[in-house]
Amino acid sequence: MRLVFPASLFVLATISLTAQTANEPQKKPAPAASAPTAAKNTPLDLPVRKVVLYKNGVGYFEHAGTVSGNQRVAIDFTSSQLNDVLQSLTVLDQGGGHIADVNYNSTTPIEQQLQTLALGLKDFPPTSAVYQALRGQRVEVSGSGAAFTGRLVNIEFRKETDKNGATSEDHYFLIVETDSGALRTAELTDAVSVRMLDPAIEKQFADYLEIIASAQNQQERHLTLEASGQGQRQIEVSYISAVPVWKSTYRMVFPREANGNAIVQGWAVVDNTVGADWDNVQLSLVAGAPQSFIQPLSQPIYTNRPEVPIAVAQQTTPETHEATDAPLAQNALGPELKAAPPVRMAAPMNGQAMGSIFGSGSAGGLGAGAGGNAGAGIYALNGVYRATDALQPGDVSANAFDDYFEYAITQPVTIHKNESAMVPILQESLPAEHVTLWSDKQAIPLRAVWLENKSKLTLDAGSFSIFENGEFAGEGLLDPIHPGEKRLLSYAVDQAVKVHRVGFTNARTLHHIAMHQGILVQTTEEISESTYTVANAADDARTVIVEHTRRPNSKLDSEPAPAETTATAYRFRVAVEPHQSTDLHVSERTPLSETVRIDPNDDRTEFLAAIGKYTPELEEKLRPLIDAETTLNDLDQKIDQAEQNEKTLTDDEARARDNITALKGNEAAKRFVDELNRAEDQIQAARKDRADLEKQRDTARANVEALIAKLSFDTDLEVKLQ
């Protein structure tokens, strides 16, 4: 941040200094600073020594170096890293010293800087705004006839029509009051120039352009730390920063003579987009996503303060106030926040690697990248089958902690800024079997590799490529494969294999039925029979993995047993000879349970009658309840009929009353009076009948409830259901 002092302050400082030196004895000038002193004032560049990259786009960076005495150290990074650095910066002086200060070049937002100028111009101002900022100022206009000077009155935007009648809207005109008092208008063209005559306004424009220029160069940030102490000491600075996500990619190469194994080579694609080179750094790649976020700590934050009006004295009149009847309670403090316990890292596991599978010398192969280190460079794929020393045993170790796993590259890695590299992380000969995979969810057979990870390294999620007989055979994606896991990896379509589901049956058998306290439970078993035909049109034998969708809680009731069982499928291995077909039979038993609540408010007579048909004993136990529910249902129907009859009689009574009212004083009204009397008698009788039926229904419902409560049985049986 640049500080600007008024000129008067410099004058006062000069006068004070002159007065002081005049009264003091003359001293010899101090000698020039020696070369070591000048070197000490120059900040020491602290290089990157360790980089840990995570899968969520965050990187951990550690700078380290040696300082002597009181010394400044510097770290360069980009503006995009600044918020992460301020949020996570950690500085350790290992020799008993301390960090006195940490500074970085901050920038005020350009909007806030422009507000300090009187011009009122914003970033990217239009032409009209520039000249409007000069209104009232003295200017000189030249290039449109004789030059003239005066005060700028305004800038106008006019539509002009040419001789062809076309209208344009890109004409600006300046209105200037000349020194003689006349108003002149000058069109702004490429030949016209306008010069500011007031030095103060000219300086305002210079300051404006300086702010604009400085805002364009804010990408580089310089962090300076003041290390205070004695003697030589080791200093370490660490922080996190946003980085591109590192990617995993694998190659699986099968030898020309099959031996049951494939050479699996893993690479990590790493991008260095930060502001520093990675020269011989210790690189670790973590397949995990620790929680991370960004706060704009590097930006000056301005808040909108409320505008409070100026207080004005008011005329008041005497008034009285109520007394406090109880003291106010003090606010209670909230609970203290406690930090989460630290995460501990488990002891590292020793990794193991093997020689490269790719060729070298005249056959072409993998060359070591920058730094001449075979375990830490950029590599290219040129051939197969020849071994080199791209990876040696111990070049990669695996660390497991929390739910993450880490590839620790033991050899130093060099990746310059704005460069990318392919870093080898795995080189193993692993058991791999060629198979064809078919699923009842995916009708197209796929060529696949059944890979078993017998290494001590976890294979991170990524892409892979397959090479067979010296040629590319396909590629695919894999999920993380932990040590000891076996995984199917598909990479191409197998056009020689056809799989059809030629038969399917589904039958249910009732094995048990029980009822207690009105809850009836039926236990059945569903038997599903599926038959698959696997045909092989190839000239060589095929091992086909048929993936059969697994039903929840099902048990297999057929041979052969599946080669593998997943959470959702059974995988059966089927060997098929050339130009032959083979059938696979799969039988599953699935226990099912159905629960039904027997309630007087629900009509269950048909359901209970169907259950009673299973055995004579069940029919005998359920008969009293079935009869009682039948009686209750009959009473419900009679009550419904009685209510409908009562409604009809009530409607007839209403019509008779309406007729009597309409024929009041007429002889015909007497007939409707008789009808009204009969209707009222019928309504009373209907209401009595309905009340009797409701009493009978209450008794019948109580009888049903009593039978449900005491009915209890538990019966085994064998009944085929439709």
3-state secondary structure 519-539: EEEEEEEEEEEEEEEEEECCC
**Does residue 9 surpass a pLDDT of 50?**
no
**Does residue 222 surpass a pLDDT of 90?**
no
Lowest mean pLDDT among 109-123, 254-268, 415-429, 586-600: 109-123
Burial class of 99 by CB neighbour count within 10 A (0 to 12, 13 to 18, 19+): middle
What residues does each domain of the chain span?
A: 41-107+218-242, 110-215, 247-273+350-430+451-484, 497-592, 605-721
Q: Which residue has the higher pLDDT, 680 or 114?
A: 680
Residue 603 CA: distances (Å) to CA of 612, 629, 633, 710? 16, 7, 7, 19
Q: What is the CATH number of domain 110-215?
A: 2.30.30.100
Distance CA(289)–CA(183), nearest Å, equals 71
Distance CA(423)–CA(275), nearest Å, equals 20
What does the pLDDT read at residue 398? Answer: 57
Which candidate, 370, 380, 405, 377, places its Cα nearest to that of 391?
A: 377
Lowest mean pLDDT among 28-32, 114-118, 178-182, 619-623: 28-32
DSSP 77: E
pLDDT band at 654 (very low <50, low <70, confident <90, very high): confident
- The percentage of the chain sitting over the pLDDT mark of 90, rounded to a whole number, equals 29
What does the pLDDT read at residue 107? Answer: 58
Q: Which residue has the higher pLDDT, 87 or 35?
A: 87
| DSSP output for 181-248 | S-EEEEE--TT-EEEE--HHHHHHHHHHHHHHHHHTT-SEEEEEEEEE-SSEEEEEEEEEEE-PPPEE
**Max CA distance (Å), the chain:** 147
Lowest mean pLDDT among 162-171, 349-358, 662-671: 349-358
pLDDT band at 76 (very low <50, low <70, confident <90, very high): confident
| DSSP output for 394-406 | TSEEEEEETTEEE
| DSSP output for 659-713 | HHHHTTTSTTHHHHHHHHHHHHHHHHHHHHHHHHHHHHHHHHHHHHHHHHHH--E
Q: How many helices (H) and strands (E) does the chain have?
A: 9, 32
pLDDT one-digit tens code per residue, 518-543: 999 999 999 999 999 999 999 999 99
| DSSP output for 445-495 | EEEEEEEE--SSS-B-SEEEEEEETTEEEEEEEE--B-TT-EEEEEEEE-T
What does the pLDDT read at residue 14? Answer: 28
> Look-up: residue for tokens 């060359």?
367
Helix (H, G, I), strand (E, B) or coil at 173: strand
What does the pLDDT read at residue 113? Answer: 67
**Which value, in Å, is the radius of gyration of the alpha carbons in the chain?**
47
Question: How large is the average pLDDT for residues 277-289?
Answer: 86
- Write 380-383 long-range contacts (CB < 8 A, 24+): 381/251, 382/358, 383/358, 383/359
Token digits of residue 541: 């034998």
pTM above 0.85, yes or no: no
Question: How large is the average pLDDT for residues 492-513?
Answer: 91
**Does residue 665 surpass a pLDDT of 80?**
no
**Does residue 65 surpass a pLDDT of 70?**
yes
What does the pLDDT read at residue 489? Answer: 92
What does the pLDDT read at residue 698? Answer: 92
Which residues sit opposite 154 in a β-bridge?
175
pLDDT one-digit tens code per residue, 403-441: 567 888 888 999 998 899 999 888 899 999 999 999 988
pLDDT band at 380 (very low <50, low <70, confident <90, very high): very low
pLDDT one-digit tens code per residue, 340-372: 333 322 333 333 333 333 333 323 333 333 333
**Does residue 327 surpass a pLDDT of 80?**
no
> At 98, which helix (H) or strand (E)?
strand 98-104
Distance CA(650)–CA(644), nearest Å, equals 10
DSSP 719: E
pLDDT one-digit tens code per residue, 569-588: 899 999 999 999 999 999 99
Lowest mean pLDDT among 111-125, 206-220, 501-515, 594-608: 206-220
- The percentage of the chain sitting over the pLDDT mark of 70, rounded to a whole number, equals 75
Which candidate, 688, 683, 690, places its Cα nearest to that of 641?
A: 690
Q: Which residue has the higher pLDDT, 318 or 167?
A: 167
Measured at the alpha carbon of residue 112, what is the angle toward residues 108 and 115, in degrees to the nearest 5?
A: 140
What does the pLDDT read at residue 98? Answer: 81
What does the pLDDT read at residue 82? Answer: 76
| Residues sharing a CB contact under 8 Å with residue 143, sequence separation 6 or more, in sequence order | 189, 191, 192, 193
Helix (H, G, I), strand (E, B) or coil at 53: strand
